[in-house]
Amino acid sequence: MSAPLFLLPSPLGEGTLTAMFPLFNFQIINSIDYYIVEELRTARRFLRKMNIDKAIDDLTFLVLNEHSKQVNGKEYLQPCLEGHNMGLLSEAGTPCIADPGHVIVAAAHQLGIEVIPLVGPNSIILSLMASGFNGQNFSFHGYLPTDSVMREKEILFYETLTKKTGQTQIFIETPYRNEHLFHSFLKVCDPVTRLCIACNLTTPEQSIVSQSIAKWKKENPDIHKRPVVFLIN
């Protein structure tokens, strides 16, 4: 009989762990000896912070990230098939949302392994809740093109979609490129379009500002190299 694969959220940044995770997550972590992780160092640091009772050196870590070639889900999930609980850890936030973990989960379903997602911080949902924008209809697009012409074309496309359907559009960016994305919104969007900038979520520096492009044009938000979610509506 196979054991379950737990999907374990991790912190979005420096903040209080008891504000981010239910007690249950701390308990589950103490039931797991086998982890699939994106980076060893972050994973070990997270487990130490969670005050894990086990010796971290006794745990087995399998690495899955953008450098992993020809991922064989069955190999990764061998411990589950042998009856050991496994944990899939994200670098930040919830696994499988904007990270490569979904390949493992798809394999788990094919192998008949139970998949159990745990509650934790997700920057897309937290920012959507706090934006004041339409939460009945929304789309997450991940990263926009780095080329400014292409990026501005896509922003215009999504802004038009929002005007037609009311759908909220959600984007993220590599933190050192945040200001380029911000200036693209200012350049191409209608002054009445609303832009929400949700920065440093769940940390003591959390800042969530939701206002029209016209108002943003008078401001210079401090978003360089910080984790940000951008939403328009």
Residues in contact with a copy of itself by the rule CB under 8 A: 7, 16, 18-24, 94-99, 101-109, 115-122, 124-142, 167, 201-202, 206, 208-211
Q: Which is nearer to a copy of itself, 47 or 172 (CB)?
A: 172
> 53 is written with which tokens?
């009772």
SS3 122: coil
Judged on CB neighbours under 10 Å (0-12, 13-18, 19+), 192 is: exposed
> 138 is written with which tokens?
């929304």
**Closest Cα partner for 111 from 77, 85, 159, 87?**
77
Q: Which is nearer to a copy of itself, 24 or 56 (CB)?
A: 24
The answer to whether 191 and 130 have CB atoms below 8 angstroms apart is no
> To the nearest whole angstrom, how small is the minimum distance from the Cβ of residue 15 to a copy of itself?
10
Q: Which is nearer to a copy of itself, 57 or 66 (CB)?
A: 66
Q: Which is nearer to a copy of itself, 133 or 182 (CB)?
A: 133
* Beta-sheet pairing, 5-8 with 86-89: parallel
> To the nearest whole angstrom, how small is the minimum distance from the Cβ of residue 55 to a copy of itself?
26
